[in-house]
Structure 1
Amino acid sequence: MVRLPLTPAEVERGQRLGALLRRARGERSMLDTALAARVSPETLRKIETGRVATPAFPTIAAIADVLGLSLDAVWAEISQPKPGTRATDSGHHAQEQLAS
């Protein structure tokens, strides 16, 4: 199977996802987080660094669960409009949830 190259938007979304997961993980070790989510530490590292820009949904769901993130909050964070465009109320609300 040939995999199509990622679009710039997919790469950017993957980078936002990785940054979100790193922030949510805080001081918790990557190893502890990965084991609790039942993914390999290498997979978590690749997602956090943006090397895997389009991880499988069950993988993200498991990591988000371990980190106490709702999937709605994750989606709102990674689908933010580019700078210079107006954010939606739901995106703003999700950012407030992540900050608390």
Structure 2
Amino acid sequence: MVRLPLSPAEVERGQRLGALLRRARGSRSMLDTALDAGVSPETLRKIESGRVATPAFPTIAAIAAVLDLSLDAVWAEIDQPEHADDDRSARRRLVS
């Protein structure tokens, strides 16, 4: 199966996801977190580094559960474009 290249937005979202998981993991070891979530440490490392920008939903759900993160909170944080304020301002101008 051939995977299509990721869009810049998908790459950015993957980087935000990785940063969120690293922050949530805090001082907890990557090995313990990965094993508790039932994923390989290599998979967690790739997600946290942004190398896997679009991980499978069950993988993220398992990691989020181990880190006591709600999936709603995860999505709310990673689905924010870096320039969200600029986008909102532009939309307001269009609506006005």
Give TM-score, length-normalised by structure 1. Answer: 0.83
1:59 is aligned to: 59
Q: Partners in 2 of 1:18 and 1:83 — Cα distance?
A: 19
Output the amino acid matched with 2:18.
G
Q: Partners in 1 of 2:83 and 2:62 — Cα distance?
A: 29
The SS at the match of 2:46 is helix
1:41 is aligned to: 41
Measure how far apart 1:83 and its partner are: 2.1
Deviation string 1:52-76 (CA, Å, 9 cap, x unpaired) is 0000000000000000000000000
Structure 1: give runs of 5+ residues left out of the alignment. Answer: 89-100
Aligned-residue CA RMSD in angstroms?
A: 1.6
Give TM-score, length-normalised by structure 2. Answer: 0.87
Structure 2: give runs of 5+ residues left out of the alignment. Answer: 89-96
Output the amino acid matched with 2:22.
R
Q: Partners in 1 of 2:30 and 2:19 — Cα distance?
A: 13
Q: Partners in 2 of 1:70 and 1:51 — Cα distance?
A: 23
Deviation string 1:62-94 (CA, Å, 9 cap, x unpaired) is 000000000000000000133252799xxxxxx
Q: Partners in 1 of 2:11 and 2:45 — Cα distance?
A: 16
1:71 is aligned to: 71
Query: How many residues of Structure 1 are paired with residues of Structure 2 in the alignment?
Result: 88
The SS at the match of 2:85 is coil
Larger radius of gyration: 2
2:15 is aligned to: 15
Output the amino acid matched with 2:83.
P
